[in-house]
Amino acid sequence: MASNSSSDRQRIAQQRLRIIAGHLRAPVDSDSTILAAECKAQGSKTDVSSERKTVPRRRQEILKWNGWGYSDTRFLFNKKGQAEFTGKRYRLSGMIIPALQNWFEGTFGASVQHKSPAMPILTSSAVQPPTLNEAFVDELKSTGIPCSHDAEDRVFRGHGHCLHEVFALREGKVGRVPDIVVWPNCHNDVVKIVELACKHNVCLIPYGGGTSVSSALECPPEETRCIVSLDTSQMNRILWIDEKNLTAHVEAGIVGQELERLLNESGYCTGHEPDSMEFSSLGGWVATRASGMKKNIYGNIEDLVVHVKMVTPQGVIEKGCQCPRMSTGPDIHHFIMGSEGTLGVVTEVTMKIRPMPEYQKYGSVVFPNFEQGVACLREVAKQRCAPASIRLMDNEQFKFGHALKPQVSSIFTSFLDGLKKFYITKFKGFDPDRLCVATLLFEGDREKVLQHEKQVYDIAAKFGGLAAGEDNGQRGYMLTFVIAYLRDLGMDYYVIGESFETSVPWDRVLDICRNVKARIIQECKDKGVQFSPLSTCRVTQTYDAGACVYFYFAFNYRGLSDPVHVYEQVEHAAREEILANGGSLSHHHGVGKLRKEWMRETISDVGMGMLKSVKNYVDPKNIFGNRNLI
């Protein structure tokens, strides 16, 4: 736990004051003082104490068992047909979203009259009784580590959030799920569990936040051994903070928002904010090579990790020091990062930390078209002046974002909106069906942020970009956290969809965006989808040599007998198109089982051999048998 000395407290208090002062100096006419943290869900007021665990053992108590996120939070169309976002956790919570219904019905050809509701509760008869390895269970119980073979607990850990997984749950269909769930409390518990698993030859599948979108958590149906889901959620402490070196040593089960909250209490942050950070865990990030929204300042997970401890069937792997860089052969961290649970369980991680930023500011820029927008991002990357986050949405997403504007309370705001729209489309001559928007997030010293902001807006202006206000920017980032809830709403009305990502060299960004979107539309048509799909993309990260591109794709499946199969065929074709256009198999979602078939062409035969030989040495009995990656 963080040190509690009085000098520390004093320092923290001072830092707090600085931050608050930063907020106060913000221009009065904007909500620039709102921190990015406000976009994501907040624990309720009583929840602030650091003793309280964010993720209980029985996750189903606060989280949906067959959809995304918190049970109390969802989109719905009310009796008037207006969209509403329930709960109290998010900025959008409790608000009416008047334009959503029109957008939804218009985009998908769906109707709020045609519902496709999910099965409300899990019938335990749908779950196969557990295959228990009695000897293992007996020994496990004798260690006192909590475990359960309750159907709900097992089902919850048998899936990630791929469309086919959630779709099946909504229909009440459950396939192979883990037979037991164990909740180790610390590194040593994990060592014991792995030892027992080896001794009794049971299959272990590590489970962190459960936000996988690569079928990584699916139990291989051919697995005949007892499958144990190792839920790391109770290993969620910050063990120490080293302010001299700016590192924190943290248990790997901690979820993103908890990690940030606890570090913030001491005036620090990691700055690692993947879109899933409310639920995803530190160990999961390491195991998938995660990437965060603000990587431009803080780096991706591989840049943030200083030291990792992983328990494997061969024992514990870790480095002997906490040095910033070493020339000691291939970096063993790179066997661990991206190993997707096939080699062992990440138990503890030393991560870089940074003092919390004094000042944050959102922003947005409207471009006349996507081409100009990409050219601007490329220039920003070239000049290496990317803000903490810079994202470019295409026209469809821009429209989507607009549909998610909550009801405006004052006539003045709506008048202003109208004026803005008039200025951009009529006065500046932007075609509303072509324009696109970049959202920005600046972070750091107030002075530097303002300077930085000017630099970026100046570049944008060269590409025809017009500053479009902080509000648009902030709404863009808010969407990140609610979009997953929107998928559940779609599924209530015959609309299914998913997002997937890639990374690609700069010279191919436009081509890949155009071709993959067109491929999706063509495949939907060829596969008999009756309505034109939503096929849209955004550039979410910039690098020196390329960018990360996200695709969103959804369609109305009325009239299809096997919508999930059609969906999978289209996604498969889209991935083929990505690869044919020079894109990567994955930028940060990982491979899992969903994208395994393309690994060989991605890393070559020899590369596969290398990975396999590591697996064979570390885990010859395939104890970590989730069969991801290779």
Partner 1 sequence: DISFKKIIETGSSVLLLFLSDPMLKKRDDFEDILEERRNSSDLKYALRCYTPVLYKGVTPCTSSMLKSMVLQSDQLHYVINQVSKETGKATDDIKEEASAILEEMAQCLQLSTVRFFAFTLSKAFKTLFRSICVNEDGIQRLQQAIQEHPVVLLPSHRSYMDFLLMSYILYTYDVALPVIAAGMDFMGMKFVGEMLRMSGAFFIRRSFGGDKLYWALFSEYVKTMLKNGFAPVEFFLEGTRSRTSKSLTPKLGLLNIVMDPFLKGEVFDVNVVPVSISYERVLEETLYARELLGIPKPKESTSGLFKARKILSEDYGSIHVYFGQPVSVRSLAQGKVNRCQFNLVPRHIPRRPSEDIASFVNDSAYRLVRAQEENMVLKPWVLVASLLLQYHHQNQAAGQKRGIALGELTAQAVWLRDLSRQYGAFLHWPGTVVTQVFTIILLALCVLTICEDKELLSQAVILLSCASYRNQALHVFVRPALLALAIHTEVFNSFSFLRNMFSNEFILCPGATVQDFEEACYLLVKTGALQFTQQEVLVTERGHRTLAFLSTMLDPFLQGYQVVCRFLCEEATETLTEKQFIPAVRKFIKKLLLAGRLRYMEVLSSDLQKNSLAALLRLGAVRKMKG
Which residues contact partner 1 by CB under 8 A? 507-508, 511-512, 514-515, 518-519, 579-582, 601
Burial 127-147 (b: 16+ CB within 10 A, else e): beebbebeebbeebeebebbb
413 is in an annotated binding site: no
Burial 531-554 (b: 16+ CB within 10 A, else e): bebbbbbbbbbbbeebbbbbbbbb
618 is in an annotated binding site: no
DSSP state of 87: S
Residue by residue, DSSP assigns 345-386 as EEEEEEEE-EEPPSEEEEEEEEESSHHHHHHHHHHHHHTT--
**The one catalytic residue among 550, 552, 557, 567:** 550
Shorter beta-carbon distance to partner 1: residue 512 or 618: 512
Residue 557 catalytic?
no
CB 578 → partner 1: shortest distance, Å? 10
Shorter beta-carbon distance to partner 1: residue 264 or 584: 584
Q: Which amino acid is at 126?
A: A
Shorter beta-carbon distance to partner 1: residue 515 or 622: 515
283 is in an annotated binding site: no
Helix axes 370-382, 446-462, angle to 10 degrees: 130
482 is in an annotated binding site: no
Cα–Cα distance, 232 to 142 (Å, whole number): 19
Cα–Cα distance, 625 to 227 (Å, whole number): 9
CA-CA-CA-CA torsion sign (231, 236, 240, 242): positive
Strands (E), 178-242: 180-182, 203-207, 227-231, 238-242
Residues 6+ apart with CB under 8 A from 320: none
288 is in an annotated binding site: yes
Shorter beta-carbon distance to partner 1: residue 116 or 584: 584
206 is in an annotated binding site: yes
Cα–Cα distance, 126 to 566 (Å, whole number): 25
CB 507 → partner 1: shortest distance, Å? 7
Shorter beta-carbon distance to partner 1: residue 149 or 514: 514
Q: CA Rg, the chain, in Å? A: 24
CB 430 → partner 1: shortest distance, Å? 16
> What are phi and psi for residue 405, nearest 5 degrees?
-65, 125
Coil, helix or strand for 59? helix
Shorter beta-carbon distance to partner 1: residue 44 or 604: 604
Element (H, E) at 415: helix 411-422
54 is in an annotated binding site: no
CB 522 → partner 1: shortest distance, Å? 8
CB 579 → partner 1: shortest distance, Å? 6
CB 585 → partner 1: shortest distance, Å? 11
Q: Binding site for substrate: residue ranges?
A: 487
Q: Binding site: residue ranges?
A: 206-212, 288-291, 340-346, 487
Q: Which residues are catalytic?
A: 550
Q: Binding site for FAD: residue ranges?
A: 206-212, 288-291, 340-346
